[in-house]
Amino acid sequence: MASFDKGDEVLIILNADPDAVASALAVKKLLRYQVKSVTIAYPNEMRRLSNIAMLNLLKIKTEKLQNVKVANYSKKVMLDSQPTHLRPSRGLNSTRSSTTTRPARDGRRPTSISARITGPPPR
């Protein structure tokens, strides 16, 4: 099982639709204090006005996957996407599962996320 470290740069890859964008935002918020950086990228075109409005209203920064150097990221998380959506030559040929838990604060319950992580196995 993989885990996230303070030095990790995480790439979240999603198929751009509202539920995937919301999931990516949740993962980004959960990881924000556990890793160095989190980038959200999508391989498909975002054309639906509802998707664009959601990104603008919630100020969610995203990148086109084609404009991102995948090799620069130590961890990749795929949300609402399939490995077949991406070419293996992009460095996304190995997957494993990971669960991370955000500690409880202010009397709240701990929050856990599970994700498929792609890339080379941890050293």
- pLDDT computed for residue 72 by the predictor: 92
Give me the mean pLDDT over the 91-98 stretch.
48
- Per-residue pLDDT tens for 68-77? 998 899 998 8
Task: Confirm whether 36 is domain-assigned.
Answer: yes
Cα–Cα distance measured from residue 57 to residue 103, given in angstroms and rounded to the nearest whole number? 29
pTM of the model: 0.67
Cα–Cα distance measured from residue 117 to residue 1, given in angstroms and rounded to the nearest whole number? 10
Task: Confirm whether 113 is domain-assigned.
Answer: yes
- pLDDT computed for residue 41 by the predictor: 92
Domains contained in the chain, number: 1
- Per-residue pLDDT tens for 13-45? 988 778 888 889 999 999 988 999 999 998 888
Cα–Cα distance measured from residue 55 to residue 37, given in angstroms and rounded to the nearest whole number? 19
- Note down the domain range covering 89: 9-118
Task: Confirm whether 2 is domain-assigned.
Answer: no
**73 near 11, Cβ under 8 Å?**
yes
